[in-house]
Amino acid sequence: MPSLQAGCTVRTLQRGRTVTRSNGFSAETLQGSFGHLHGPLDAIGSIQRNDALSTIGLTKLSSLVIRDSSRATASTDSRHFADNAVIDRFLKQTPVTRYYGSKRKLLAWIYEVTSTLSFDTVLDLFGGTASVSLLFKAMSKKVSYHDGFTFNADVAHTILSDNVALDETWVAGFLERLRPCDGVVAANFDGIYYTVEENRWIDGFMAAQSAQTLGDRERQLLRYLLYQACLKKRPFNLFHRANLSIRTRTDVQRSFGNLTTWNKPFEVHILASLRELQKALVMSPRSHEIIPSTNAQEVAPGYDLVYLDPPYVGHSSAQNRDNYWMKYHFLEGLSRYNEWDGLIDRKANTRHMREPAWMRDWSDKKLFKDLLFSTIVRHRESIVVLSYVADSVPHHQEIESYFRSIFSEVSMFHKSHRYALSGKEKNEILFVGIP
């Protein structure tokens, strides 16, 4: 059997023994083979359950050892994802996330692995940008999304919707009528992330959307568009540093970033994100659920498949200091605008909100393993797919041993992946545990 690619292997584990196997094709091959298909993306929604396990004109993974064919399957059939759909259009048109650790660029690989498994309901427990949830929706699964951040719930409501709640004419008119004002951002973030004028513009945006007679979906869309614009205008797309000077200083030699993008008006970024979103819709007859934001450990089990993409914990304290809360506290504040002012830590130069204890625990090297393992065992009656990075804490071999101790069948999929910001190559791992 041909191998995946250099450094990309599959291992299938059974209780008491480990077998190393290789896969029939690479994620790159998968992406390169989409071009011969054609048709509108919204036809993905018409996919039938029996077709959901088929590949996109490719040989399926055949390396998984399966005991219970009702829970997982492997095939060598060459069938289309859907009669009139193009998975590569889906991959290319999935909204750009600008989110640290996003799996958007790994969706083809995740599809390659999960399309071999038989499941109907799926929980995306650490859902983030909802790109993996969108993939599962395109596979005609019944998706339940969860994330600890409230702003990510807005993202999921928008990304997973069958339609865009407001059209471009309405949004353009809303932006034209918007008037800057003094509010939470202007009062607390002077000279930290945006200019004085931009801070007042953000406050004006929040005041304007609050004054409109709108439903929840419309407000979620507007906030989503604001989040995207805020990220585009930030160096590194993050809020972990009070570093407006990277944009504004004229005596700095820049070797990264895009000053033109940072200095574009919010309105330009918002309308661009709206157009991008309009191209990314996935129609599906299946309902989806956005679970209210809370600790992942509080989400009840009971799904056919549970996909886990928890925060990765490094070996050093410095690696874990700038966790997701520090990176995205500003967007979380926007999602909770009316209570934001009372939550800000004014002693911190970043003016971040005080972090919930349970979220801080997920970034604690001493606590992370127990939290992860207790979450896995909570969902042990489901197929569990865990995204992980080698050389994190705990070591991936320890996770492998734990999976093997509680699941009947375990497979490991490896893929090298280079992150755009750091340029560092990481060994991504997918663990698949079948009860």
Structural domains of the chain sorted by starting position, each given as residue range(s) with its CATH number in brackets: 10-151+286-319+362-434 (3.40.50.150), 168-278 (no CATH)
| pLDDT for 241 | 84
Taking a C-beta distance cutoff of 8 angstroms, is the pair 343, 333 a contact?
A: yes
What tokens appear for 242 in the block?
């009070």
| pLDDT for 249 | 79
**Across the chain, how many H-helices and E-strands are there?**
18, 9
Q: Which of 103, 85, 95 is nearest to 34 (CA)?
A: 85
Per-residue model confidence as pLDDT tens for the chain (435 residues): 333 333 344 555 554 444 333 333 333 323 332 222 222 223 333 323 233 322 222 223 222 222 232 333 332 222 334 433 456 667 777 777 666 666 778 888 999 999 999 999 999 999 999 999 999 998 999 999 999 999 999 999 999 999 999 999 999 999 999 999 999 999 999 999 999 999 999 999 999 999 999 999 999 999 999 999 999 999 888 888 888 878 877 777 666 558 888 889 999 999 999 999 998 888 888 999 999 999 999 999 999 999 999 998 888 666 656 688 999 999 999 999 999 999 999 999 999 999 999 999 999 999 999 999 999 999 999 999 999 998 899 999 999 999 999 999 999 999 987 665 555 778 899 999 999
Output the pTM of the full model. 0.80
Q: How many CB atoms lie within 10 A of CB 31?
A: 18
| pLDDT for 314 | 81
Q: End-to-end distance of the chain based on CA atoms, in angstroms?
A: 27
Backbone phi and psi for residue 40, each to the nearest 5 degrees, phi listed first: -70, 145
| pLDDT for 168 | 97
| pLDDT for 42 | 32
| 52/69 Cα distance (integer angstroms) | 15
Taking a C-beta distance cutoff of 8 angstroms, is the pair 296, 324 a contact?
A: no
